[in-house]
Structure 1
Amino acid sequence: MSRPRIVIVGAGFAGYRTARTLSRLARGAAEIVLINPNDYFLYVPLLPEVATGVLEPRRATVSLTGTLPEVRLVLGEVHRIDLDRRRVGLTDPEGSPHDLGYDRLVLAAGSVNKLLPVPGVTEHAHGFRSLPEALYLRDHITRQLELAAATDDPGERAERCTFVVVGAGYTGTEVAAHGKLFTDELARQNSVLRDREPPRWLLLDLAPRVLPELAEHMSHTATRVLVRRGVEVGTGTSVEEAAKEGVHLTDGRFVPTRSLIWCVGVRPDPLVADLGLPTEQGRLIVDEYLAVPGHPEVLACGDAAAVPDLSQPGRITPMTAQHAWRQGRRAACNIAASYGQGERRPYLARDLGFAVDLGGFQAAANPRGIPLSGPAAKAVTRGYHLLAMPGNRVRTGADWVLDAVLPRQAAHLGLVPAHAVPLENTAPETPVLRDR
């Protein structure tokens, strides 16, 4: 008799944790299939450090085949799920269609950049959710400063040395904080830019404060560090229109720039809407056991799922890596329970706190509700990442040590062209500019 097949769609925090836990719980009892466009798990919180030269790009990736030996990896993009026939349709990287059956399905497709109906954004902005986007931004920043040093036009030089980040949530705040340090160092290394005005960074959000979703002390810490570093923080302000030569802001100002970085948040993968099942805030409705009502063989977790927050009745868990990671483990345990191993249990959300890396020796954190800032928060932040990462800990730690004692290398490698990371593949959303 053939073994039952468990198919997991997506290898983000939720999908990877599901596969890793199942490879231990269901080893030999079931065939575990993981479908993902790439052969790596991406540790997204490290992308700002990849984009600003602190970490080598591979440090943010963990090999799926190397760390999930009991899991069959299928490279491809899922474009169709037939719930009645229990089939998954996908297209592999070379464009060939494939079809897989399943006995259990875990939908952990994650999320994509959220695009708002702001004129010019799709043509002139770039998102920050993937490794190619981080690599593109690193090259783009380096190239802009090199071109600024090469021109004799003061206006063009100012445009190229100005960087606008939209969205002052977790991602945007880290990008602006790390980016300012990076460009200041590159400018110091350039004989033409060294004695001129330092590169200009703006961080914009319609929210009344930076990090609006997190504790106020973290917001105050981040704002203090950003302002002291020279970042212009514009709360209650955003981009009204983007153009090649700059951006028009909602407060009436025009900022000349060649760099618009879009960090306004995320939305669930479009695959969720294509299922035709009930959703909440665009996320697939599941019960407290992560199962889809009417389809007990299907579980969903992470950003794709509207998981009930049992600690706050009537609410769903936020779209964070912390919840996705723990939901992945719970989904795996509940699937194993359906095969007679253990007991099915509900997902219980627990807030372990957050950590925001602000570059240099600065960070903001609140582990277990304890407010921290400065070097202490930095130690907690990096310690947390090393513990949470499923691989590359030694190499990542080594890169951090080298960055503390050596200057960063400024080299435009040209690995990712602009057309390879378009923002236009994200559907428009309602006009509320917030990072998650």
Structure 2
Amino acid sequence: MERPRILVIGGGFAGLECARRLERKLAATEAQISLVAPFSYQLYLPLLPHVAAGVLTPQSVAVSLRRSLRRTDVIPGGAIGIDPRAKVAIIRKITDQEIVEPYDYLVLAPGSVTRTFDIPGLTDHARGMKTLAEATYIRDHVIAQLDLASTTLDQNERAERLQFVVVGGGYAGTETAACLQRLTTAALDRYPRLDPRLIKWHLIDIAPKLMPELGDHLGARALKVLRERGVEVSLGVSVKAVDEHAVTFTDGRVIPSRTLIWTAGVAASPLISTLDAETVRGRIAVTAEMRVPQFEGVFALGDAAAVPDLAKGDGAVCPPTAQHSARQGKKVADNLVAALRNQPLQPYYHKDLGLVVDLGGKDAVSKPVGVEMTGVPAQLVARGYHLMAMRTNVAKFRVGCNWLINATAGDDFVRTGFLARQPARLRDFEYTDAYLTKEQVREHAQALQAKH
């Protein structure tokens, strides 16, 4: 008898946790497990600001899928369309070869992409912080601005290169601004020709508060830390337009700048739009058991799914966080096992364990299990949480060693240069234009099946 085929789309927190738990709970004879991922690692997203700032090396936050998984087939590519009626996924491999992958059970965990708006120049000039390549590029770019500003005689060019704008007052934006501001401050000793007063970091957000999820006290504490370091934080403000030389704010200010880092939220992977399924604000609607009700054997979770938040109630859905994604991955695996064994499925219910925000150095704000903390204790909690959450001991060891080396030896402010002179638009890093339309999926799948 042929084993049921379980296909997991996505190797992030949700997809990897699901596949790991399936391996533990199912015998090899019970199911064939495959996971589709464009890269051979799970990206530990919360530490990307540390990569951008050079505190961690890129490899440190790239948790090996093949070290984490033992008998799951890892397909190197990305799903560009799903035909749930024919029970096939269209996969584009990293060689650009397209194949059709059949399944009996499908787990949709494709994650999210950077959310953008119809702002003139945004998609051409903004840089994201969603991928490892983007974080590495931003580090190179920021150091390049210091290199170029220190040698130019053009005062306007120097002003443009030494002002940096980060959009988004959530965790990603706040940590990015905090860590990169520390990078440029520490680098000043290596650039004696630069006037420290010319280096300016701007953090803006349309919301009236910084990181409102932390509560008024901790949010105000984080705001105070940033402003004391010289970061200009503007709330109730967004971007009106951006070009190669300046960023225009909605309050009328024009900031001479060649660096716009965009972290203003996320949107579900475009893969979701290839299915003819109900959505909630762009995320696929699922039951509390994370089933997609329109299609048999299809589950969805993580950033791409509107999973009901039973802990909050009142129709709330779980926010797109790593904490929820990892725990949803485990619950979906449990429900898949139950489905295979004709047992009842269980709803996802999770009480938030708290929040941690690493502002670099000795600065942090944390709220583990509702206890508010600041300074060094909060930093220890934040870094301890990240080490605990990483999926392999090798990754934990690398991150811990990197933190120690950076704290004792500092940074050499080296540009790797491997992305120099390459397009650095959001779509270049996140492949948002790679997907089929839902009208194309059925025809495309049939053509591929006939071909092969």
Q: TM-score, normalised by structure 1?
A: 0.95
Residue pairs, 1:307-386, within 5 angstroms: 307-311=307-311, 312-340=313-341, 344-386=345-387
Match of 1:399 in 2: 402
Q: 1:55 deviation in Å?
A: 0.4
Q: Determine the C-alpha separation between the residues in 1 that align with 2:215 and 2:58.
A: 31
Q: Secondary structure at the match of 2:288?
A: coil
What's the % identity of the aligned pairs? 42
Q: Secondary structure at the match of 1:76?
A: strand
Describe the superposition over 1:278-298 as per-residue Cα deviations: whole angstroms up to 9, x where unpaired. Answer: 011111111111111132411
Contact 1:165/1:203 (8 A) holds in 2: yes
Q: Residues 309 and 418 of structure 1: is their aligned pair in 2 closer, same or farther, counting only changes over 3 Å? A: farther
Residue pairs, 1:79-94, within 5 angstroms: 79-94=80-95
Match of 1:416 in 2: 419
- Give the letter aligned to residue 415 of structure 1: F
Higher mean C-alpha displacement, 416-425 vs 67-76: 416-425
- Give the letter aligned to residue 393 of structure 1: K
Describe the superposition over 1:75-118 as per-residue Cα deviations: whole angstroms up to 9, x where unpaired. Answer: 11211211111111111111111111111110001000111111
Q: 1:198 deviation in Å?
A: 5.3
Q: Determine the C-alpha separation between the residues in 1 that align with 2:391 and 2:276.
A: 34
- Give the letter aligned to residue 405 of structure 2: L
Q: Secondary structure at the match of 1:91?
A: strand
Describe the superposition over 1:196-253 as per-residue Cα deviations: whole angstroms up to 9, x where unpaired. Answer: 4252100001111111343222211210110011100000111111011111111111
Contact 1:135/1:415 (8 A) holds in 2: no
Match of 1:222 in 2: 222
Contact 2:43/2:62 (8 A) holds in 1: yes
Match of 1:145 in 2: 146
Q: Residues 383 and 341 of structure 1: is their aligned pair in 2 closer, same or farther, counting only changes over 3 Å? A: farther
Q: Secondary structure at the match of 1:359?
A: coil
Match of 1:431 in 2: none
Q: Secondary structure at the match of 1:351?
A: coil
Contact 1:180/1:199 (8 A) holds in 2: no
Match of 1:74 in 2: 75
Match of 1:278 in 2: 278
Q: Secondary structure at the match of 1:94?
A: coil
1:17 equivalenced with 2:31 (yes/no): no
Q: Secondary structure at the match of 1:11?
A: coil
Q: 1:178 deviation in Å?
A: 0.4
- Give the letter aligned to residue 259 of structure 1: T
Contact 2:85/2:295 (8 A) holds in 1: no
Contact 2:270/2:432 (8 A) holds in 1: no
Residue pairs, 1:119-130, within 5 angstroms: 119-130=120-131
- Give the letter aligned to residue 266 of structure 2: V
- Give the letter aligned to residue 233 of structure 2: V
Match of 2:289 in 1: 289
Q: Determine the C-alpha separation between the residues in 1 that align with 2:67 and 2:421.
A: 31
Match of 2:449 in 1: none
Q: Secondary structure at the match of 1:203?
A: strand
Match of 1:255 in 2: 255
Q: 1:419 deviation in Å?
A: 3.8
Q: TM-score, normalised by structure 2?
A: 0.92
Structure 1 unaligned regions, length at least 5? 428-436
Q: Determine the C-alpha separation between the residues in 1 that align with 2:238 and 2:189.
A: 30
- Give the letter aligned to residue 404 of structure 2: V
Match of 1:236 in 2: 236
- Give the letter aligned to residue 405 of structure 1: T
- Give the letter aligned to residue 161 of structure 1: L
Structure 2 unaligned regions, length at least 5? 434-452
How many residues in Structure 1 have an aligned counterpart in Structure 2? 426
- Give the letter aligned to residue 359 of structure 2: L
Match of 1:430 in 2: none
Describe the superposition over 1:334-386 as per-residue Cα deviations: whole angstroms up to 9, x where unpaired. Answer: 00111228752110021111101101111111000000111010000000000
Task: Give RMSD over aligned pairs.
Answer: 1.4
